[in-house]
Amino acid sequence: MKKWAILVIFLLLSINFSANSLSVKGREIILVYDDAFYTLISTPLAFHENKAPMIVFKNNLTAQQKFIDDYNAEKLIIIGKHIDTSVPHEEFLGDAISVALKIAKFFGKSSNVVIMPCNMEEYNLSMIATPLACYLDAPILLYDDNDDEILSAINELQAENVIAIGSVPIGNIHLQNEREIYDYISNIKDIRYIAVANPDDEIKPDVMEKQKMNFDGHIKTFS
């Protein structure tokens, strides 16, 4: 499920990302620690920052450094875990719930906010509701019986539309299933594309049959 979410969010960020979008504000890159909920709450932040590229990392930036260098990143926004880097950066550290609150504060004011349940049982709903937050330029908050923190964040954002996903009890708009989420998105956004991903792509395929052959000779030419 986690890898599926990462792949779908990557595809989501790829939509509308053209060559001339490399001139984004400050040439920022969003670096997200490999966690199911960090990826969700970081995606609308990437959109908020003019569709900044979003890269997932695990323990260090060994695999990601070439892209950072080639992109000439002027700033990194790091989500979830501290990493050492010489590039100017801003970090949002802590568990996913507290990081979501910090990102909401980074947004400043927003007329919309999306609140998602912080559990894996409803993760599918949270995943498909993430584009909604992007389209509305709305931060995502994570609900885990933290009513006071959520209400305080809503007040600070001065949000008028509080969209509750799944079982979240706080909100004036409640989207409780996939159909309601899809319908709401289609009502606010004229979507003319579809992104398709196969979550099984990360699974190594089973070898159904093997046949070992020996031969003598040399290959003289290649074509």
> What 3-state class would DSSP assign to 32?
strand
pLDDT-based confidence at residue 207 (cuts at 50, 70, 90):
confident
Res 4: pLDDT: 43
Asked whether residue 220 is domain-assigned, the answer is no
Tell me the per-residue pLDDT of 88-128, one tens digit each, with 9 for 90 and over.
999 999 999 999 999 999 999 999 999 999 999 999 999 99
pLDDT average, residue stretch 127-141: 95
pLDDT-based confidence at residue 195 (cuts at 50, 70, 90):
confident
Res 194: pLDDT: 72
Contact predicate 139/45, CB 8 Å: yes
201 CA to centre of own chain: 19
Asked whether residue 64 is domain-assigned, the answer is yes
Asked whether residue 47 is domain-assigned, the answer is yes
Asked whether residue 210 is domain-assigned, the answer is no
Res 142: pLDDT: 98
pLDDT average, residue stretch 145-159: 97
**Residues paired with 173 in a beta bridge:** 163
pLDDT-based confidence at residue 147 (cuts at 50, 70, 90):
very high
* Domain hosting residue 165, numbered range: 2-199
Asked whether residue 67 is domain-assigned, the answer is yes
Asked whether residue 133 is domain-assigned, the answer is yes
Asked whether residue 215 is domain-assigned, the answer is no
> What 3-state class would DSSP assign to 137?
coil
Where b means 16+ CB within 10 Å and e means fewer, 145-172 reads ebeebbeebbeebebeebbbbbebebbe
> What 3-state class would DSSP assign to 161?
strand
> Could you say which DSSP state residue 93 is in?
E
Range among 73-77, 79-83, 112-116, 213-217 with highest mean pLDDT value: 112-116
Tell me the per-residue pLDDT of 7-50, one tens digit each, with 9 for 90 and over.
444 444 444 443 333 334 458 999 999 999 999 999 999 999 98
According to DSSP, the β-strands at 140-143 and 161-165 are unpaired
60 CA to centre of own chain: 19
Provide the domain count of the chain.
Answer: 1
| Cα–Cα distance measured from residue 208 to residue 187, given in angstroms and rounded to the nearest whole number | 47
Burial class (CB in 10 A: 0-12, 13-18, 19+), 13: buried
58: number of Cβ within 10 Å: 12
Asked whether residue 217 is domain-assigned, the answer is no
Res 2: pLDDT: 46
Question: Mean of the per-residue pLDDT values for the chain?
Answer: 85
State what percent of residues in the chain have pLDDT above 70.
82
| Cα–Cα distance measured from residue 124 to residue 191, given in angstroms and rounded to the nearest whole number | 20
pLDDT-based confidence at residue 222 (cuts at 50, 70, 90):
low
Site of tokens 């708009």? 173
